[in-house]
A and B are shown apart, each in its own frame.
Chain A
Amino acid sequence: MRFLFINHIQNARQSLKSNRMRSTLTMLGITIGVASITTILALSGGASKIVSSQVDALGGNIAVIRPGAASESPLQDIAQIPSTQHFAASTLTENDLNAIQAVPHVSALAPMMVLSGAVRAESSAPVNTAIVATTPALADIVGLKPQDGQFLDPQLNQYTAVIGAQLSVDVFGTEQSIGKTITIRGKSFTVIGVLKRDNNPINYNGVDFDKSVIISQDAGRELNQGSLQIQQINVQSDSVSNLNQVIVDMNKTLLKNHMGEADFSVLSGEQIAQPTNRLFTAIAGTTTAIAAISLLVGGIGIMNIMLVSVAERTREIGIRKALGASNSDIVAQFLIESLALSIGGGISGYVIGYLLAFGISTFLPFMPLLSWEIGAVAIVVSVVIGTLFGIYPAVRASRKDPIDALRQYD
């Protein structure tokens, strides 16, 4: 049986070789389908991975508190991505801040209040420029480093701001903007620092720090009619091993503060990245479904060619049967041939898909995800397609009457 299998493979190779053009074109159908799926999965995987890797890079001792209960349904999460336009009033208060500060092992915490509004200096900043009101601890927790000047300092005047490098270029035309004045919602702020570029437009803070302006909490409160809207609190524990304890304690404290209402969520590690990941998963799912249509077309191509091949080789089937091939031998012969087409297409599609993904990623802020799962998906998909669309022609070939088959002249 094993020898027969090897023979079938040799046979398939030979028969595909003898119709090189036809085989290549048929494979191309599968190649395109698998390539598009590979590209989509690699890119979306890469995109989801940035957020999780950022969280990892911070040392694994970060927890994030967000207003609103953690939802179980992924679809709901997609509808509630934390964004700068979070209009609903936050359930997190200053009171909570103080309570968390008191939790043991919390080494630092940074509440973030993201406002939108006009930012202007020598020229207007882009409309969506984020105004982040926070405490100096943010720099440590998120890993923001000033390229020039310094970060926020409670000792200084509250009308001071730190701006992203790109924003500086946008409004001043240069990255050297220390000491210049920037107008935020009509109030003048002095630029005391310009942040180093970190090229991370997608991150768990929902803010592109390269293009935002950071002001103190007090200034933020003043800009927001005297009330503080905390959209996210980043908490750092003193060590990785204490993080779990900190999370449990924070949950307890906040629950008490909120009179038993779980209208907040404490997230850590992978969970922080989840909403973003789910969004990407949903996008990838939809595009993959579209790419699957091209696979279906490729599969139909295989079926078509296999039917032609069976018709052409009717006489050969008759000869083989007369020489002792059983029906299952004939099924195996043609099935292996269609599998060879689809797996060949799958492998080249996988390679081309990655080339494409790396090509596209040069225009994107992230690299494609390299993982064995995508390879497995490519192989499994092509095996399934080959079997699904190869089985009918193969069975048809095996059912041919040997006498009729021998009578056909080629």
Chain B
Amino acid sequence: MPQTQTAPVIVLKDLKKRFGVGDAEHYAIDGIDLTIQKGEFIAIMGPSGCGKTTLLNILGLLDSKIEGEYELEEHSVASLSVRRQARIRSQQIGFIFQSFNLVTRLNVIENVALPLVYKGTTQLNRMKQASAILHQFHLGEREYYMPYQLSGGQMQRVAIARALVNTPSIILADEPTGNLDSHSSHIIMEELSDLHKLGNTIIMVTHNPHLTTYASRVITMLDGKINTDTAQQTEEEPIDAKKPLNKIGKSTKKRRKAKRKKEVKS
């Protein structure tokens, strides 16, 4: 794990997120303690509704109504103004979404250049930078295509290019391959893996256990809590250890995985 000596990028202390009021009140995130170092590639897994996306939104400063502590690069997020948060989103965080979230009205290069608009870059420089990064992603010939003229994999590559155009230190990916076939998924994951090798911190939410092989650390969540964390697995017992049903499910999965690996080898 690179550079563990430097200050962690993200520190969460007893983070809670509550939805609803009164009887309907429930904690989507129910006490998470997490430290993320610079340069980690974290995959967050877990069943639907366990709070993965909520956690990602909080990490990305899209949701600031939280309880507990969130320190981003040693600054407490609670003390930041809305405007400051927007600037951090613009300069330090890159978002990649499951549904790509390209602005349909704008063409590829304009979409990629969008984050630069809020950074205050001139039009010419925006286009230059966007074009450069699109070439990096082998989309140089698609610059003036509209999003609907692209395939899913291409759209996601555009979205990744957009997330990277501001050279953010943290990349948040919410099921980046959720809408893609397995071939495209692997292309996207290779891209993310390359970014990781370049030293970016990547936090990815995924449903697909195969993709965790790309990650340097895998966190599973359950009911708003961290269930397992590969960084601490030796010290802690998983919470669901006492739940036989779940364990069976998990162990069969593992067995299947092992079997598949054998098949590949033979």
**Are B103 and A319 closer than 8 Å at their CB atoms?**
yes
Q: Among B86, B90, B101, B117, which residue has its beta carbon within 8 angstroms of that of A7? A: B117
Given the known inter-chain contacts A3-B120, A3-B121, please indicate yes or no for A323 contacting B105, CB distance below 8 A. Answer: no
B113 to A, closest residue via Cβ: A7
- A278 close to B (CB within 8 Å): no
**Are A327 and B117 closer than 8 Å at their CB atoms?**
no
- B122 close to A (CB within 8 Å): yes
Given the known inter-chain contacts A3-B123, A329-B118, A403-B62, please indicate yes or no for A323 contacting B89, CB distance below 8 A. Answer: yes
Q: Which residues of chain B are within 8 angstroms of A402 by Cβ–Cβ distance?
A: 62
- B237 close to A (CB within 8 Å): no
Q: Among A10, A315, A326, which residue has its beta carbon within 8 angstroms of that of B82? A: A326
**Are B83 and A323 closer than 8 Å at their CB atoms?**
no
Q: Which residues of chain A are within 8 angstroms of B91 by Cβ–Cβ distance?
A: 324
**Are A321 and B62 closer than 8 Å at their CB atoms?**
yes
Given the known inter-chain contacts A316-B103, A323-B95, please indicate yes or no for A6 contacting B123, CB distance below 8 A. Answer: yes
Given contacts A324-B90, A403-B63, 18 further A-B contacts (CB under 8 A): A3-B117, A3-B121, A4-B118, A6-B123, A15-B105, A318-B101, A320-B118, A321-B89, A323-B95, A323-B162, A324-B89, A324-B118, A324-B119, A327-B83, A403-B57, A403-B62, A406-B97, A409-B99
Q: How large is the interface on B (under 10, 10 to 19, 20 to 34, 35 or more residues)?
A: 20 to 34
- B104 close to A (CB within 8 Å): yes
* Chain B stretch 87-115: residues in CB contact (< 8 A) with chain A: 87, 89-91, 95, 97, 99, 101-106, 114-115
Q: Which residues of chain B are within 8 angstroms of A327 by Cβ–Cβ distance?
A: 82-83, 86
Per the bound structure, the CA–CA distance linking A1 and B120 in Å amounts to 6
Question: Which has the most chain B C-beta neighbours within 10 Å: A321, A322, A326?
Answer: A322
**Are B120 and A410 closer than 8 Å at their CB atoms?**
no
B121 to A, closest residue via Cβ: A3
**Are A326 and B166 closer than 8 Å at their CB atoms?**
no
* Chain A stretch 1-57: residues in CB contact (< 8 A) with chain B: 1, 3-4, 6-7, 10, 14-15, 18
A18 to B, closest residue via Cβ: B105
Q: How large is the interface on A (under 10, 10 to 19, 20 to 34, 35 or more residues)?
A: 20 to 34
How far does the Cβ of A402 sit from chain B's closest Cβ, in whole Å? 5
Query: 1/0 contact trace for A135-159 toward B, CB 8 Å?
Result: 0000000000000000000000000
Query: 1/0 contact trace for B54-87 toward A, CB 8 Å?
Result: 0001001011000000000000000000110011
**Are B121 and A322 closer than 8 Å at their CB atoms?**
no
Q: Which residues of chain A are within 8 angstroms of B86 by Cβ–Cβ distance?
A: 321, 324-327, 329
How far does the Cβ of A395 sit from chain B's closest Cβ, in whole Å? 14
B122 to A, closest residue via Cβ: A3
Per the bound structure, the CA–CA distance linking A402 and B85 in Å amounts to 13
- A328 close to B (CB within 8 Å): yes
Per the bound structure, the CA–CA distance linking A15 and B104 in Å amounts to 11
Per the bound structure, the CA–CA distance linking A322 and B105 in Å amounts to 17
Q: Among A10, A322, A325, which residue has its beta carbon within 8 angstroms of that of B60? A: A322
Q: Which residues of chain B are within 8 angstroms of A15 by Cβ–Cβ distance?
A: 105
Q: Which residues of chain B are within 8 angstroms of A6 by Cβ–Cβ distance?
A: 123
How far does the Cβ of B81 sit from chain A's closest Cβ, in whole Å? 10
B85 to A, closest residue via Cβ: A326
Per the bound structure, the CA–CA distance linking A262 and B105 in Å amounts to 74
Q: Which residues of chain A are within 8 angstroms of B104 by Cβ–Cβ distance?
A: 410
How far does the Cβ of B128 sit from chain A's closest Cβ, in whole Å? 14
**Are A316 and B105 closer than 8 Å at their CB atoms?**
yes
Given the known inter-chain contacts A321-B62, A323-B89, A403-B63, please indicate yes or no for A14 contacting B105, CB distance below 8 A. Answer: yes
Per the bound structure, the CA–CA distance linking A403 and B64 in Å amounts to 11
Question: Which has the most chain A C-beta neighbours within 10 Å: B60, B63, B117, B162?
Answer: B117
**Can you report 23 residue pairs joining A to B where beta carbons are below 8 Å apart?**
A1-B120, A3-B117, A4-B117, A4-B118, A14-B105, A15-B105, A319-B101, A322-B60, A322-B62, A322-B89, A322-B101, A323-B114, A323-B115, A324-B89, A324-B90, A324-B91, A324-B119, A324-B166, A326-B87, A326-B118, A406-B97, A409-B99, A410-B104
Q: Which residues of chain A are within 8 angstroms of B106 by Cβ–Cβ distance?
A: 14
Q: Which residues of chain B are within 8 angstroms of A316 by Cβ–Cβ distance?
A: 103, 105
**Are B101 and A406 closer than 8 Å at their CB atoms?**
yes
**Are A324 and B105 closer than 8 Å at their CB atoms?**
no
The 7 A-B residue pairs with the shortest CB-CB distance, nearest first, are: A324-B90, A326-B86, A324-B118, A323-B115, A324-B89, A402-B62, A322-B95
Q: Which residues of chain B are within 8 angstroms of A14 by Cβ–Cβ distance?
A: 105-106
Per the bound structure, the CA–CA distance linking A316 and B100 in Å amounts to 12
Query: 1/0 contact trace for A308-342 toward B, CB 8 Å?
Result: 00000001101111111111110000000000000
Query: 1/0 contact trace for B35-65 toward A, CB 8 Å?
Result: 0000000000000000000000100101100
Q: Which residues of chain A are within 8 angstroms of B123 by Cβ–Cβ distance?
A: 3, 6-7, 10
Per the bound structure, the CA–CA distance linking A322 and B88 in Å amounts to 10
Q: Which residues of chain B are within 8 angstroms of A18 by Cβ–Cβ distance?
A: 105
**Are B101 and A315 closer than 8 Å at their CB atoms?**
yes
Per the bound structure, the CA–CA distance linking A323 and B62 in Å amounts to 10
Per the bound structure, the CA–CA distance linking A244 and B105 in Å amounts to 69
